[in-house]
Structure 1
């Protein structure tokens, strides 16, 4: 005699618990789970931040244009302080790359082979994105889409690619990142800002900061991997970075928002400014100080399974999250400008409605993940 079959819900719960335990058991004992947790939080911060502060507005004349609630509600700038987490991503990237390169050297793997493998992992997820949007752009043009609409959509889709270009360049510089350290690029950013804002240098000079600014957290990550950025240095970075960013905003005339705002004369992010770098220093200090707690938290199998899933497809989530938002926005257009979707982001009603749309964005992103995530994990030569 066999007992009664387990109810479907109970069986699914049992299977999920088994999967969680398998993920936990398959994780190498020496893996630093704090790094994966920080990377996962950074990716989710960027995704959620973009969904909350980026809007496609239906002008009513067949054209979509980009906008942001931060332009209409500047007092919401603290949202960008929480969700602009790129410095943490570069910090973890520098740490992981420095450790990985050191391990490769011990195994006798030449630098060029190590770099090729790293860059391949970065570039693989771009291929399906480029393919899908090449076809989508052709369809939109054939369907008579306004150039302004096409431009607004492509800017959102392509904007994450700048990150990959910078991250690839910094990855190539990993052998000298620790030697350069964070202070030289920090000084370079300060000099560029002084030239731009005090001496009347041309605006294009600010783009030097794209490399210099993100080298600061990347080099800190390399120092962290070598044991040169521990609690005392992290506390100093947190305090000095926070005080410096606040002073630059209050007395230096820098914008309070740590992301770009349409119509704003100066952006802290495009190109990065000294205020953004100081803010990133504070984030890096906080990340290192929280690492032990995150390590303990990620030791729980359920938490670790979620962290591992995000990290396994981090680049897919990063590259496709704007597409997910665009798909839901376009699906809502036949119903007219909807609150939080197509309407102007000029009030708290829009913010409240946008929060309600986040699950729909997440569902669309899950579909993108299911369709294109395997490309990120494809082994070399496949």
Structure 2
């Protein structure tokens, strides 16, 4: 099956909006004592919560992920690959760059702590460097569940995401009405899993077989969202706002589910037009590099904020109109441009690292049918809670190094690599067809 440019475009579009959204809502203030603070824009200027309707684009990333995972797993199965081997390769592709990024950030935190940097400042910076990590444990779990989810898709089709949506709704009702917060953990998999499962349906033509299906998804999701945030109990913000309960993201709510369904429907509706646009060579030359660098952009996009803070705010060079005022919004334009330039430089500096990681992946990725496949399930199991801790607490909670999450991530990555090491020592390499299938 030929590569779908539209799927790559969705990934690139999602990453670009995530980066721009994080940069837009990040506002720095230099206090009279020289300390740098970052007021929460969505809380300080409440009308900005409406902007999250345009910037919360992660449902499309899960949709594209489900579609590509369906392609990859189908090829692996046809070539005789195992669920453990396929899951291990997908996990390693995510864990290698994440482990490198986390290791470098943790080293920087250790150096700053030893140098006597204020613990509050270190905690804030550490949180900013890990705020995007919420996506990684969810995606790892869905990757590990892909063989089972795809089997459910093949058997039940659209009824599979419908059942997941129903389960997510029940869980959310219990979270909000019965104050059962731990049930909300299920919604991270169920809500985002609906978009992921719809990616399977899209791949196999279930969303395009009847012209009314994408219309129904777009219209039904929009109407349900309006009802849930209007007369319903949920806020309009699709990004976490401190103190706001219930929240649409922590855990993902039924309102987020409705918005995700609406985005999926709209995505399928506009696909023919966008695909024709992507056939133009000039357009594709712009889109393709973004898709290829999506993981680098996602992991490293808050580094430019630290660079700009040090260069312009710590030195007092940055103009500082009243937070949220009209002049402040006017300065968002040069703010975004400068951050974009710095991120471009960061990505270029990281190219040798990316090439090295790609080569390391080829040398260490698990075989298609590993002898010790059970290790490939333990790896994500160790990494998921570690990544979740980084997402919630950052890389320097209370100004200290988070030892247990660091060990968990290192252990999870090592467990995914280990079966390949054992195989190389004791058994022949797998057939090329099995490798290519992944």
TM-score > 0.5, shorter chain as reference: yes
The aligned counterpart of 2:240 is: 260
> For 1:240 and 1:316, how far apart are their aligned partners in 2?
35
The alignment status of 1:125 with 2:97, answered yes or no, reads: yes
Contact 1:63 1:148 in 2 (8 A): no
- Cα 1:349/1:263, change in 2 over 3 Å: farther
The aligned counterpart of 1:105 is: 77
The aligned counterpart of 1:18 is: none
Q: TM-score, normalised by structure 1?
A: 0.85
The aligned counterpart of 1:210 is: 188
The aligned counterpart of 1:170 is: 142
Contact 2:175 2:183 in 1 (8 A): yes
The aligned counterpart of 1:321 is: 301
SS at match of 2:238: coil
Question: Deviation string for 1:110-132 (max 9, x for gaps)?
Answer: 22222222222212221331132
> For 1:197 and 1:116, how far apart are their aligned partners in 2?
36
The aligned counterpart of 1:196 is: 175
- Cα 1:137/1:60, change in 2 over 3 Å: farther
The aligned counterpart of 1:143 is: 115
The aligned counterpart of 2:337 is: 359
- Cα 1:80/1:38, change in 2 over 3 Å: same
Question: Deviation string for 1:233-261 (max 9, x for gaps)?
Answer: 22111111111111111111211111112
Q: What are the ranges of 5 or more consecutive residues in structure 2 without an aligned counterpart?
A: 154-159, 365-438
SS at match of 1:37: helix
Match of 1:269 among 241, 249, 267: 249
* Pairs within 5 Å for 1:227-376: 227-230=205-208, 231-336=211-316, 338-339=318-319, 345-376=323-354
> For 2:238 and 2:207, how far apart are their aligned partners in 1?
24
* Pairs within 5 Å for 1:56-95: 56-61=28-33, 63-95=35-67
The alignment status of 1:45 with 2:23, answered yes or no, reads: no
Q: Which has the higher mean CA deviation after the structures are superposed, 348-357 or 211-220?
A: 348-357
Contact 1:339 1:354 in 2 (8 A): no
> For 2:78 and 2:322, how far apart are their aligned partners in 1?
56
Q: What are the ranges of 5 or more consecutive residues in structure 1 without an aligned counterpart?
A: 1-28
CA RMSD of aligned residues (A): 2.1
- Cα 1:369/1:110, change in 2 over 3 Å: same
Question: Deviation string for 1:12-47 (max 9, x for gaps)?
Answer: xxxxxxxxxxxxxxxxx9221111111111111111
- Cα 1:131/1:367, change in 2 over 3 Å: farther
Matched length: 351
SS at match of 1:257: coil
The aligned counterpart of 2:395 is: none
Shift of 1:63: 4.3
Question: Deviation string for 1:133-166 (max 9, x for gaps)?
Answer: 1222123213322222111111121122221111
Contact 1:67 1:344 in 2 (8 A): no
> For 2:106 and 2:39, how far apart are their aligned partners in 1?
24
> For 1:345 and 1:280, how far apart are their aligned partners in 2?
32
The aligned counterpart of 2:124 is: 152
The aligned counterpart of 1:226 is: 204
> For 1:52 and 1:362, how far apart are their aligned partners in 2?
12
Q: Which has the higher mean CA deviation after the structures are superposed, 93-102 or 371-380?
A: 371-380
Match of 1:187 among 158, 162, 166: 166
SS at match of 1:277: helix
> For 1:283 and 1:333, how far apart are their aligned partners in 2?
38
The aligned counterpart of 1:14 is: none
